[in-house]
Amino acid sequence: MTLEEKIGQLNLINSDYGTISSTTRKALQDGAVGGILNEVDPTTIKELQRIAIEDSRLGIPLLAGRDIIHGFRTIFPIPLGLAATWNEELGEHCGHISAAEATSVGLNWTFAPIVDICRDPRWGRVAESFGEDPYLCSQMAIAMIKGFQGESLELPGSMAVCLKHFAGYGACESGKDYNTTNIPENELRNVHLPPFKAAIDAGALSLMTSFSDLDGVPATANSFILQTILRDEWIFDGIVVSDWESVSQLIDHGFARNEKEAAYLAASAGIDMEMTSTTFTDNLSQLIDEGKISIDDINRKVANILRLKFRLGLFDINDDFINVQVNVTDHKKYIKEAAIQSCVLLKNKNKILPLKSQSLSSIAVIGPLSDEPHEQLGTWVFDGDVAYSETPLKSLQASLPDSIQINYIKGLENSRSKDKSNFTNIIQLAEQSDLVLMFMGEEAILAGEAHCRADIRLPGAQEELIDAVSKTGKPIVLIIMTGRPLALESVVDKVDAILCAWHPGSYAGPAIIDLLLGVQSPSGKLPITFPRITGQIPIYYSHKNTGRPGTPESITFIDDIDVGAPQHSFGNTSFHLDIPNSPLFPFGFGLSYTTFKYENLKLSDDKIILGNSFTVSVELTNSGDYEAMETVQLYIRDLVGSVTRPVKELKKFKKVSLKPNEKVLISFELSTDDLAFYGRDNIRKCETGEFHLWVGSSSNAELITAFEVIE
């Protein structure tokens, strides 16, 4: 390979969207392109590959990438919703079905899964994440990778994943996208890196760097994460691609004086492929001539990229590679099931749900998200086909008996509307109905990249609409479609039931209506904490105890303080005066139409020698009268560590379905390696000492036992 051809492999260009410009064609003929993104027209992809393979000297095929985040044509719930299923199988189906649809047009690389840990729901990209917990995120990422990459990357219907965004992107200050992150190494290693490591161990062969700077060094030029961690410690042999122009943005960061220095800093830190900016193409050969970048380094980058192309079987693609239609049987079934299991029942006062349709003669359906084929798909759905969308209103109309009248009024034109001129009609309609279903939340555009909100309450006049309808005294079921947790403190007491559906994807309608009508019981569990108000953020279950732990009582002091009160303490612990210390809904929480009883939590041993494993067992009974799924969650607390440890950490979970009165023995195998963490020396190990262990249905699990790890 000539030097120009080598540098060409490091160049990831954007497509011309269904056509091939003369510039692109020439670059391909010159062997100056290693990959292309955002082309989804099969004929164009075929011609791009043909030019690269037949019209260039070396005939090296292209990586063809796209953001296939939670579906391609038919859309699964957003990743935050998929995480709420706690169901790895559904995560795998999402990857497999997405890959089948995307590879059929000739794509071979997806920029997913997003494994950023997020504890600040103001950040728009929380919608793309699997939430706040490293273990749950890791398990869902592993499952999705299995689905995307299949048994072998060379097989039809398989495509390479690209983990993102490396690393710590979800910790952007004030939840503003692209903003600064300052993450101590110990927290980076214990919280933000584990999902990347788990995903690489599961076979992920590419990573994308994040736009953000990490402790003052932009991730795209951060040799600590790109070389020390990724290559030296993890021995990663895949490729690292920059994010969109994140190499040239080193100048905007004030980290590089010019594009040549940006190229030098990114290439020497460990970027293999530059997305859409051209600092590598324009400057690397000069940097090599000046001895600043070695040809060995370039060869390593090229080798990484060619290795991925070989693993993808791209050197053996033949003419009909884009016509391979991988049959995915029952894909609608899995997409609908994922939407069903992603829904989290947050409130169900007096068991108003499931709807007792036999006792209803009219239902009011109100809200800007009742019948929105596009909005229900959520973010990152460039290729989603709204023709597949089935909305809640249409599904309700198709499911309810004619004896029940459906009184529909949108009420607000969209989720941001502040126009209350229709409120009188809405209230009249509610008063004429036996029950009110309100489909509220966020339009898809209010979450996702660069779509962050400083106030995560229901937008527009939705809170006022709920307030107005609540004054009719009619029972209200609030169904929330959203790309993030919403601060529902001011509406939670005004409705009888709340079902969080996230953005549930193509089959939002059938899924939500099946749940409302009791065809299935809700089984979703929160993958992220719901704060009461925005001001509580960050608030997450695996917090540290501090030296003065606040109590999660529900009393709000501020109203009880005497006027003119002398300076004195309310206990000097860690809490806010003006809001209870607890979240509105905790991580792992989700109600069911039945109840589950946990009994007889036992350990095979309560003194565990370092390096050994032990069994945890608990008896679980469906103590209600509904068949339902439960996600059994296992949490531990390391009481004393060489660094402070969280008050709880999720270590295992298992989802089971039980019939009424059915009892099963649930057991988990736990090793001391599961208890390992990066201590003060930033070396990963399990430290001896005492532990608490809980098993239950949320991070508020109360059934507790204890054990000790000994030398």
Within 10 A of 290 (CB to CB), how many other CB atoms are there?
A: 11
Give me 144's structure tokens: 């999705």
- CA distances to 154, 213, 491 from 462, rounded to whole Å, are 50, 36, 10
- Residue 65 or 475 with smaller CB distance to ligand GLC: 65
List 116, 120, 133, 243, catalytic entry: 243
Parallel, antiparallel, or unpaired: how do β-strands 344-348 and 362-366 relate?
unpaired
CA dihedral in degrees (673, 678, 679, 683; nearest 10)?
90
**Annotation marks residue 330 as catalytic:** no
Give me 169's structure tokens: 């992107």
Backbone angles phi, psi at 593, to 5 degrees: -80, -10
- Residue 135 or 380 with smaller CB distance to ligand GLC: 380
Strand partners, 629: 657
Residues 6+ apart with CB under 8 A from 215: 181, 182, 183
Task: Report which of 310, 211, 221, 305 is spatially closest to residue 262, judged by C-alpha positions.
Answer: 221
Smallest distance, ligand GLC to C-beta of residue 385, A: 19
Smallest distance, ligand GLC to C-beta of residue 132, A: 19
Give me 575's structure tokens: 């809490």
- Residue 40 or 539 with smaller CB distance to ligand GLC: 40
Asked whether 592 and 626 are in contact (CB, 8 A), the reply is yes
Sequential DSSP letters for 436-505: EEEEEE--GGGSSTT---S--SPPTTHHHHHHHHHTTT--EEEEEE-SS----TTTGGG-SEEEE--S--
Asked whether 36 and 14 are in contact (CB, 8 A), the reply is yes
Residue with tokens 């295992």: 652
HSE toward the beta carbon, residue 507, CA cutoff 13 A: 19
Smallest distance, ligand GLC to C-beta of residue 95, A: 16
- CA distances to 602, 640, 690, 695, 702 from 706, rounded to whole Å, are 10, 13, 7, 12, 12
- Residue 161 or 340 with smaller CB distance to ligand GLC: 161
Give me 435's structure tokens: 């029950």
Smallest distance, ligand GLC to C-beta of residue 376, A: 22
Instruction: Give the separation between CA 178 and CA 203, rounded to whole angstroms.
Output: 28
- Residue 206 or 633 with smaller CB distance to ligand GLC: 206
Smallest distance, ligand GLC to C-beta of residue 211, A: 6
Tell me the chain's radius of gyration from C-alpha atoms.
26
- Residue 275 or 369 with smaller CB distance to ligand GLC: 275
- Residue 110 or 697 with smaller CB distance to ligand GLC: 110
Smallest distance, ligand GLC to C-beta of residue 274, A: 13
Instruction: Give the separation between CA 379 and CA 75, rounded to whole angstroms.
Output: 10
- Residue 243 or 390 with smaller CB distance to ligand GLC: 243
Residues 6+ apart with CB under 8 A from 463: 457, 490, 491
Task: Report which of 85, 268, 201, 179 is spatially closest to residue 193, judged by C-alpha positions.
Answer: 201
Smallest distance, ligand GLC to C-beta of residue 67, A: 5
- Residue 117 or 340 with smaller CB distance to ligand GLC: 117
CB pairs under 8 A, 24+ apart, for 396-404?
396/363, 396/365, 396/437, 396/509, 396/513, 396/516, 399/513, 399/517, 400/357, 400/363, 401/357, 403/361, 404/357, 404/360, 404/361, 404/362, 404/363
Instruction: Give the separation between CA 336 and CA 557, rounded to whole angstroms.
Output: 45
Instruction: Give the separation between CA 173 and CA 689, rounded to whole angstroms.
Output: 35
Smallest distance, ligand GLC to C-beta of residue 200, A: 18
Backbone angles phi, psi at 667, to 5 degrees: -135, 150
Q: Interface with ligand GLC by CB under 6 A: which residues?
A: 37, 67, 111, 164, 243-244, 449
Smallest distance, ligand GLC to C-beta of residue 244, A: 4
Strand, coil or helix: what is 569?
coil
Smallest distance, ligand GLC to C-beta of residue 177, A: 9
Strand, coil or helix: what is 664?
strand
HSE toward the beta carbon, residue 492, CA cutoff 13 A: 16
- Residue 110 or 542 with smaller CB distance to ligand GLC: 110
- Residue 245 or 390 with smaller CB distance to ligand GLC: 245
> % helix / strand / coil in the chain, to the nearest 5?
35, 20, 45
Helix axes 134-149, 194-201, angle to 10 degrees: 30
Smallest distance, ligand GLC to C-beta of residue 69, A: 8
- Residue 243 or 489 with smaller CB distance to ligand GLC: 243
Smallest distance, ligand GLC to C-beta of residue 66, A: 8
Give me 497's structure tokens: 């039931």
Strand partners, 345: 499, 591
Q: Would you name the residues annotated as active-site residues? A: 243
